[in-house]
Amino acid sequence: MKQYSIFDIVGPDMIGPSSSHTAGAARISFMASKIFGLPIRNVVFELHGSFSKTYKGHGSDKALLAGILGIRHNDDRLREAYKIAEGRIDYTFVKVDLGDVHPNTVRITMTSEEGIVGIIQGSSIGGGNSVITKIDDIDVEIDGMYDTLITVHQDKPGMIARLSNVLLEENINIAFMKVYREIKGKNAIMVLETDELISRSSLENLKSVEGVFKTTYIPKGGN
């Protein structure tokens, strides 16, 4: 039997009206912008399933835009997302069919000032919880329930050992670890969920490991 936290039942505090279409939507795009990690100039939201049907009625559009702007699901400014985005970010909402995915799914294409493009897909799975299911072309599963470290690195022997050694030095316990890749020898993504916070200095050490292209850190509750 699944063990729910008391706060899964009472909480979260959130901007209404819908836990899955408003709070969950804001959490997806908040995580997406964190994972992308660059100042965003342009964003395209492709809405699938019930997101595409009810997004206006439930304020999913404002919630998604707010998350990209770094506004959390319980922040009153979520309502004003359009106004806050003015002059800062260009945005587009498109209704699409993404195929056999969760009914509340959105694909977010972000473009930075320098023209770098990142695509992140996520689903709102109920009760305000959400999960990131794709980073660029790679399938992942990130729910932000733990302190989460995401690395993009070269797919070669020894990478996982080198990265986990850095965490060992700070006595950080890894709760869950998943490694994903598209093609052998190319980019791989590792998602590490830890019991302890990773310090700034450890993050710097992780970044400097040879073969690591990018690290993203989402502290627990960042979801």
- With CB under 8 A as the contact rule, which of the stretches 31-39, 51-59, 107-115, 162-170 interacts with another protein? 51-59
Residue 212: which H helix or E strand, with range? Answer: strand 212-218
Q: Does 53 bind another protein (CB under 8 A)?
A: yes
The whole-angstrom distance between residue 135's C-alpha and the CA centroid of its chain comes to 9
CB of residue 20 to another protein, shortest distance in Å: 8
- The footprint of another protein on residues 121-180 (CB under 8 A) is 126-128
Q: Which is nearer to another protein, 5 or 157 (CB)?
A: 5
Q: Does 219 bind another protein (CB under 8 A)?
A: no
Q: With contact defined as beta carbons under 8 Å apart, do 35 and 218 qualify? A: yes
Give residues with Cβ within 8 angstroms of 141, minimum separation 6: 131, 132, 133, 178, 191
Q: Which is nearer to another protein, 26 or 159 (CB)?
A: 26
Q: Does 19 bind another protein (CB under 8 A)?
A: yes
Give residues with Cβ within 8 angstroms of 169, minimum separation 6: 202, 205
Beta bridge partners of 49: 104
For 207, phi and psi rounded to 5 degrees?
-65, -35
Q: Does 17 bind another protein (CB under 8 A)?
A: yes
In the list 42, 50, 112, 154, the residue contacting another protein (rule: CB under 8 A) is 50
Q: Does 57 bind another protein (CB under 8 A)?
A: yes
Cα angle 183-144-148, degrees, rounded to a multiple of 5? 65
SS3 (DSSP) at 165: helix
In the list 27, 34, 48, 58, the residue contacting another protein (rule: CB under 8 A) is 58
Q: Does 79 bind another protein (CB under 8 A)?
A: yes
Q: Does 23 bind another protein (CB under 8 A)?
A: yes
Q: Interface with another protein by CB under 8 A: which residues?
A: 1-20, 22-23, 50, 53-54, 56-59, 62, 74, 76, 78-79, 126-128, 195
